[in-house]
Structure formats: structure tokens, C-alpha cells
Chains A and B, each alone.
Chain A
Amino acid sequence: VNEPNHFRRIVIASIVLSAIATPIVVAVIAPTLPPGKATDASSGQVFDNTVLFGLVTPIAATIVVYFAYSLIFFRHRAEGAQEGVAIQGDRRVQAWWLAVTSIIVIFLAAFGTVELADAGSGGGQGPDPAFKPSGKAMPVQVIAQQWEFTYRYPTYGGIETPHLELPVDQQIALHVTSLDVIHSFWAPRLGVKADANPGVDNIAYFKPEDERTFEIRCNELCGLWHGYMFDTGQIVSEAAFERWIHHQQRVFAPAAKVLPPYEKHYFPEPERRGG
């Protein structure tokens, strides 16, 4: 019995499927996926995901072809041989597989590190960030507590506001901290996420590039009303931001007098049991 050249068939079909699927995924699907282009951080994440999709799609196509082929052509039939071919292994295949997966892993790690070096990609980097943006950044403090976020603007007299507004096209340094348990500041559309730890100043950098409203959610289970710890923020123009912040300064002036001075973090009373 002449065996057909299974290997050549699978290779050709994989190449064809990859050649069709990869451009569609990379050019059409991946760039439109969240988090979108509202900040430099989220754009970076979309780019990152697109590259990863570009890498994964041909691998997935090859595996799909391999299984489709094997499950059909290597199935048991009533006629012909009842047992498979006793192949114990193949050193060349093993070596190739090892080489290819190793190269992919090294590429992934290098690529991820280079991307991360772009100001930390919007993730929380702790009190002493390893990756900083060039130029000055406007500090905004996020104070998490059970079960709400408040925001302090140290460059505007350290006032504390219940809502977050940010000026467009200006580098922001979020300083995230907590007064009680661990929370996490997540603005999905901005591509920004940083855990709020009590006693820790967790810094995340990003630059808004699009005027829009965005949603804020607590992303770390923080007790009873965790599901209700959400808020809406706004990215506005420079002038609108100035108007807004000066209005806030007036409104919260009486409160600002009794606020503790601006700190990197605040130690509260020892935790007591809540709900």
C-alpha cells in the first residue's frame, strides 16, 4: 500500500489557512478589540495584543489543520490495518519543536519587556517605578477605601474630589493608595490598572489622547459592596479641566482645611470589622 505524503499535505494546508486567517485577524479583528485608543497606554496594549494575535494565529491554524487531518485520515476503519504504526518518537521532530518553541518564548519575553519599558504600559509600578515617561507628569492621587474612590490633586492645593477629571494630552502619574483593604483602580477604556494597597504608593503612568467619559471599577475583591465600587470619569480639554479644577477648589475649600496634608499614603486606624 502506498502511503500518501501526509506531512506535505498538512504543511500546504496549514500555510494556506495561515495566509488567509492571519491578515484577517491582524488587520481587521485585533485592532478593533478593547481597550481601544483613549490613551497611550491602551493603544500600546492594543498593539501588543495585535502582535500576539499575529503570532498565535498561524500556530492555531497549523494545529487545527493537523487535528482535522489526523482525526479524519487516521481514524479506525473496518478494512485495512487495525493497529497504528509503532513509531516510538523522532529526534528530528523533537529538536525542531524545541527550537521553534524556544525561539517564540525568547521573542515573547523580549518583545514584552520592550513594550513594558514604554512607561510601564499603564500598569501599577509601585513607589519607585522602573519605567518612567520622559518629561514631567501631572500627579493625581487615587485614594481607595471601602467602598469608593476619591482623588487628590497635589499640584492644585491638594484638594480632594469625589470624581476624576483629567486633561487631554498631558502625561498623568496616578498615585494609587488605600486606606483599609486591598482595592484595585481599573479604568478599562484607559488601559490603566493599579492595585491600591494600604500604606503603599502605587504609581501608574499614562497620557490621555481622546476626550471621552470612562468607567472606573474596583478590580480587587474588597468586601461586601465591592460590586458597587464604580464611578465615571472624564477626559476633557485643557481649558475645561482648568475651569473644572478651579470650581472644585472653591467648592471643596472648607473641606480642604480639615484634610490631612497630602502624603504618599495614609495610615488609618487599625482595621475593625465591618459588614
Chain B
Amino acid sequence: MNETATSAPLWRRLIGFNLLSGIVLLIVGFYVGWWLGHQIHAESLDFIDDTNQNDIALMFGYLFAVIGFLIGLGFARYPLTRIFGRQRTVFENEEGGVGRYFGLCTDHKVVGVQYLLGIGLFFFIAGLNAMLIRAELLRPSPQLFNAGNYLTLVSLHGTMMMGMMTSGVLGPFGNYFVPLMIGSRRMAFPRVESLTFWLLMAAGVILFSTIFFGGFPTGWTGYGPLNVQANYGFDSYIFFFALVGISMMLLGLNLITTIVTMRAPGLTWRRLPIFCWGALSTSILMVLAAPVLIATLLMVALDRGLQTSFFLPSAGGSPYLFQNLFWFFGHPEVYVLALPGMGILLEILPVFARKPLWGYRVAVAGLLGIMLLSFFVWQHHLFVSGLNAGLRPFYMFSTELISIPTGLVFLCGMATLWRARIRYTVPMLFCLAWFFNFFIGGVSGVFLSDVPSDVATHGSFFVMAHFHYTIMGGLVFTFFAAIYYWVPKMFGVMLNETLGKIHFWAMFIAFNSTFFPLFALGLMGMPRRVVTYPSHLQALNDWVSVSAFVLGASMLVFLFNVVYSLVFVREPAAANPWGSKSLEWQTPTPVPLHNFDRPPVIDSDPYEYGQPPPPTVPREAPAGAG
């Protein structure tokens, strides 16, 4: 099958394997599965008959929709061609125009841009959910939403952010820049790379379809037995997170293989850019943690659809089992969100401090230490659950132990500023804000790790403030740093600096004004996910809501900046506008199709900035030299 000639009329070019055929087959697949599920459904499952809700039909609908979507995008062509004994290249759609972005494409740079736009879209939708939540909380009793819609809104916000943003950095920037940084022409598995993106998009659509099935009232944690009791809107949660898990796992495997096997000659482990170390440690977490999530969700699906009882106490199951399994995935998952941010931070700091990264090996040890320890702390989410109460001192200790590798990352970042020549560019400002936010997030984490203190704050707005400080303050700020830093390479255009600074200051101030009072609200007795609260907490809640709206408005400044700079002004970026020494900036802009004409040979480390330190003892000028 040849590619359609670019001179063909538009309607002809729309026919083929692309997003359009993907969506058509997604809808067709959904109804095929829905019909099939209703055929299978047996009368004996009175669980279903109670409510006329057929979980099996909905599950089959989602399953066939995803399969149809992937076939429509063209993922079946290569395996089928090979099955029938013909030769076919693994590379697809690498040449051509805008059409590449709307389908299966094996160019890692196209996938990076697809990820950036796709993730950005869902990030803004989930952010709008947060605005609605804060609008509801302006008053102590319900005003905009009823109890059920409010819970669906909270659940959608949490699930979307925790699910989609796992790939928030590694999707766009990992896929785009890891091959460039290590001097490779592509990722190890280019078709898998595209698959991870489209799976994530299918997952996002499935999660939103929950509003047609009544939503779900469980939050992003989906604890049992509530997860079995929930309406069939919960099936979209199961399918969403399972697809996200598969996507995460494949993305992680792809990045690990790429970094281990495809480094250019001379790029030893000690010369690997720190962002790649961040990507590597995150990928290992993804590969080890995501399968647990997928298996757990399969068990929930069986509990709901086929009346098994893994998590149902009334039939011999254990809700603790679900909590254990979920947090065995869930705690590494929050480090999946934090580690790439640290990678970006340590990558960008030396460029604008004009200094080498301080203590490169210590920083790597810090990243790997966090990765390792994050598997041994999950029961700190269950300190008051009554499970393994005798083990609480151990989990308190292991949780506090994580502050040692985190402290190393902090030290390396701080010391990189020592005797630097700091340039206050927009990416640098976002990186510096990381220190402020992450320090508050980390310190509040020390309070939460301490069991007596945790009894007062567990499950309250204090916890919510804590993880927004680490994830939004840690990941999202560095995510924006990465956008301002790397967009000139990705799109060949500079983002407006003045608008960038307005965006930064509005976001930084509004962010702290929004989330710092939540610590107080939590201590004063406000639980998470409630639509009502005591009226004496209204003043503080109103303050938070107004700040949140300003925070939302700062995102509009960013959007305006993107449209203004990328569509209207289009100030062309130099190939290396920041004077960076790492490999991705040594390529021309736009980056050619296969990145490098021939494999680069690396003979130095990526952070060779700065002047040599002056000798400690000032030398006398040699008298009468000659």
C-alpha cells in the first residue's frame, strides 16, 4: 500500500489509516462490543438486573472501541503484512506534512509533539474541573452541583491528573529529547512509541465517557467495597487506568531500552545527561509498578462483572488487599510524577547558572535512591486503617529515609547556584520556584510521615496541600520550565519572554496563595472530597477559591503566549539560543528527520560550563620573568 500522493485532493487524503478512520472504528467497535456484551449477559447475574446496568456490555464496548481505534490508526497493518509473509518497513508516515501528526508516526519528534498537545489538552480540561470544584466550595453547602456530580467532578480531576500526567514529562520531552541527548536517530521501538501515545488518548476519551454512564463516586483511589457498589460509570475508571498502566509500562520499557542500548559512541554512563537519568529511574518505576495496577484493576473488573470476591469482605474478600495493591502501585506512581521534574531541574540549572552540575554522581545516586526506596513506603497511606499497626514505626522510618536521597538532589541543585552567574530567564524562574515549592511539599511530608502528626492530618486538606505542593509545585512548574526551554528546539520559535514572566509570577504567587491555606484548613478539620463543610471555614475556603481562579487565569496567559508567539509573531529561534552544551542543542533547527547525519562521537560531559576555579593561594606575580 503506497502513501497517498500529497498532490491529491483533500478528501482523498483524508481516506486511509489516520485519526479519522480511528474515530470511526472506535465508535463502531464500541457498539459491536456493547451488542456482544448484551448477548453474553446471563440472567443469573442478578447483580446486573437490579439496576439494568450491564457492566459486561460496557467493558466489551470499551475493549472493542480501543481495538477498533488502533486498527483505524493503522497499528494492525505491520503485523498483518508480516503474518502473510510480505516484507514491510517498521517506519511509517515519517515523511509528509501536517498529516503526520494525526496518525501512527514512528518519528520520535512527531510523537513528542503529539504528546505535548495531547497531554496539554487533558491537563487543561482537568484544570477546568479544579476551577469548578473551587467554585462549588465558595459556599459551605451545595450550590452549583449536587452531591453525586460533585464527586464525579472530584474523581475526574484526580484520576485525569494522576493518570495522564504520569507521562506528562516523559511523553513529550522524554520521547523527543532522550534520543537527541544520547545521539540516537530514533527510539528503540518506534511503533510502540506511537502506540503509547494513542493508548493514552483512547484512555482519556474513555474516562470522559463516564459522564454518560452516571460518573463514579470513588475519587482516584477507587477503594473497595465502594468500587463494587459504584454504578457502571466506574467501569470507565477501570478501563482508563488499565490503559494508562499499559501505556506507562510500554513507554518505560521503550525508554530503558533506548538509553541502555542506543547511546552514541563515547557517551558513557558518567556522561549521560541528568535528564536521561531522571527518565531512566522513572521508567524503571513505571515498568515495575504499572503491572500491579493493571492486575488489581482486572480483579476489580472481575468483582464487578463476574461476582468474584477479591475485595468484598461480606464474601470472604479483603478491602485491605485492594488498598495494599493500589498503594504498592500508587506510591511509586507519585515518584513517577516527581522524578522527571527533578531531571528537568538539574538539566536546566547548569545552563543558566553557567556552571557544571554540582556533584553529578551524587545527583544520580539521589535519583536512583528515591526510585529504590519508593517501593518500601506504601503503607504510610494506611497509618490509621488498622492494618499492620505494629509495622507503623517501620513505615515511618522508611518514609523519612526517602528524605535522604531527596536531600541529595536538593543539595546538588542548591550547590549548582554557588558562585554561579545566574541568568533569570523564564525556564530558570520556573526551576527556582521548584526549590520553594518542593521544600514546603517535602517538609509537610515529614509531618505526614510522623504517625502521631499524621493522625491529625491524614486524609484531610493538609494531605491535599502536601501533594499539590510536590506534584503541581514540583512537576508542573518544571513541566513549564521544560516548555519554555525546549519549545525553541521543537518548533523553531521563541516564546515571548515578557508574557512568560507575567505567566510565571502570576502562577507562582497564585499557586502558593491557593495551596498554603489548605494546610490550615486540613488542620482545622476539613476532609477531602466533601461538598459541605463547617461554616466557620468559609472565609478561608473563599480565599482559596479566588486564588485558584487567579491560578487558572495565569494558564490563560500561557495559552495566549503560545498562540501569540507560535502563530502570530513567529520570532525564529537560533539553533542554540541558551548557549547550552548538551547534545540536543547541537543539532540544527528544525531537527532533521534522522537527527544526525552520522552518529556523533561524544568526548566530553554535557555540563562543561564555567571558568576553572582560581587557585586557592594567590600566587605572587613572578618578578622579572623572562
Contacting residues, chain A, for B387 (C-beta < 8 A): 126
Is there an interface contact between A223 and B229, defined as CB atoms closer than 8 Å?
yes
Query: Measured between C-beta atoms, what is the minimum distance from A30 to chain B in Å?
Result: 11
Is there an interface contact between A224 and B386, defined as CB atoms closer than 8 Å?
no
Contacting residues, chain B, for A93 (C-beta < 8 A): 411, 415
Contacting residues, chain B, for A45 (C-beta < 8 A): 452-453, 455-456
Is there an interface contact between A123 and B455, defined as CB atoms closer than 8 Å?
yes
Is there an interface contact between A63 and B404, defined as CB atoms closer than 8 Å?
no
Contacting residues, chain A, for B382 (C-beta < 8 A): 195
Report the Cα distance A67→B420, complex, angstroms.
12
Contacting residues, chain B, for A89 (C-beta < 8 A): 358-362, 415
Is there an interface contact between A56 and B530, defined as CB atoms closer than 8 Å?
no
B400's partner among A41, A63, A105, A223 (CB-CB below 8 A) is A105
Contact A221:B315 (CB < 8 A) given known A101-B403, A126-B386, A273-B51: no
Contact A113:B396 (CB < 8 A) given known A85-B613, A130-B389, A181-B225: yes
Is there an interface contact between B386 and A221, defined as CB atoms closer than 8 Å?
no
B389's partner among A102, A129, A268, A274 (CB-CB below 8 A) is A129
Is B148 an interface residue when CB atoms closer than 8 A count as contact?
yes
Is B253 an interface residue when CB atoms closer than 8 A count as contact?
no
Is there an interface contact between A94 and B362, defined as CB atoms closer than 8 Å?
yes
Query: Measured between C-beta atoms, what is the minimum distance from B312 to chain A in Å?
Result: 7
Is there an interface contact between A219 and B527, defined as CB atoms closer than 8 Å?
yes
Is A186 an interface residue when CB atoms closer than 8 A count as contact?
yes
Is there an interface contact between A181 and B226, defined as CB atoms closer than 8 Å?
yes
Contacting residues, chain A, for B142 (C-beta < 8 A): 227
Query: Could you say which of B439-447, B473-481, B538-546 contacts chain A?
Result: B439-447
Is A127 an interface residue when CB atoms closer than 8 A count as contact?
yes
Is there an interface contact between B452 and A112, defined as CB atoms closer than 8 Å?
yes
Contacting residues, chain A, for B16 (C-beta < 8 A): none
Contacting residues, chain B, for A52 (C-beta < 8 A): 446-447, 450, 453
Is there an interface contact between B400 and A109, defined as CB atoms closer than 8 Å?
yes
Report the Cα distance A71→B433, complex, angstroms.
12
A48's partner among B353, B432, B450 (CB-CB below 8 A) is B450
Is B124 an interface residue when CB atoms closer than 8 A count as contact?
no
A198's partner among B225, B355, B359, B439 (CB-CB below 8 A) is B225
Is A25 an interface residue when CB atoms closer than 8 A count as contact?
no
B453's partner among A49, A124, A180 (CB-CB below 8 A) is A49
Contact A227:B396 (CB < 8 A) given known A6-B419, A195-B386, A268-B314: no
A112's partner among B385, B432, B450 (CB-CB below 8 A) is B450
B47, B51, B418, B534: which has the most chain A beta carbons within 10 Å?
A: B418
Report the Cα distance A94→B365, complex, angstroms.
12
Query: Measured between C-beta atoms, what is the minimum distance from A171 to chain B in Å?
Result: 17
Contacting residues, chain B, for A189 (C-beta < 8 A): 525
Number of interface residues of B (CB under 8 A): 101
Query: Could you say which of B59-67, B103-111, B216-224 contacts chain A?
Result: B216-224
Is A18 an interface residue when CB atoms closer than 8 A count as contact?
no
Is B611 an interface residue when CB atoms closer than 8 A count as contact?
yes
Is there an interface contact between B225 and A184, defined as CB atoms closer than 8 Å?
no
Contacting residues, chain A, for B313 (C-beta < 8 A): 197-200, 267
Contacting residues, chain A, for B610 (C-beta < 8 A): 83-87
Is there an interface contact between B419 and A221, defined as CB atoms closer than 8 Å?
no
Interface residues of A (CB under 8 A from B): 3, 6, 33-35, 41-42, 44-45, 48-49, 52, 56, 59-60, 63, 66-67, 70-71, 74-77, 81-90, 93-94, 97-98, 101-102, 104-105, 108-109, 111-113, 115-116, 118, 120-130, 176, 180-182, 184, 186, 188-189, 191-195, 197-200, 202-204, 215, 217-228, 230, 267-275
23 sample A-B contacts, Cβ–Cβ < 8 Å, listed by A number:
A52-B446, A74-B418, A84-B353, A86-B611, A87-B358, A108-B446, A108-B449, A116-B393, A123-B383, A123-B451, A124-B389, A126-B385, A180-B229, A181-B225, A182-B319, A186-B459, A197-B385, A204-B384, A218-B527, A225-B147, A226-B217, A226-B529, A267-B314
Q: A84-B420, A193-B384, A273-B51 are in contact. List 20 more A-B contacts (CB 8 A).
A: A74-B419, A82-B354, A84-B419, A84-B421, A85-B419, A86-B355, A86-B609, A86-B611, A86-B612, A87-B355, A87-B358, A102-B404, A112-B393, A113-B393, A126-B389, A186-B459, A198-B313, A227-B529, A271-B312, A272-B50
CB-CB nearest 10 A-B residue pairs: A188-B525, A86-B610, A84-B355, A202-B386, A121-B452, A126-B386, A227-B531, A89-B359, A84-B420, A227-B530
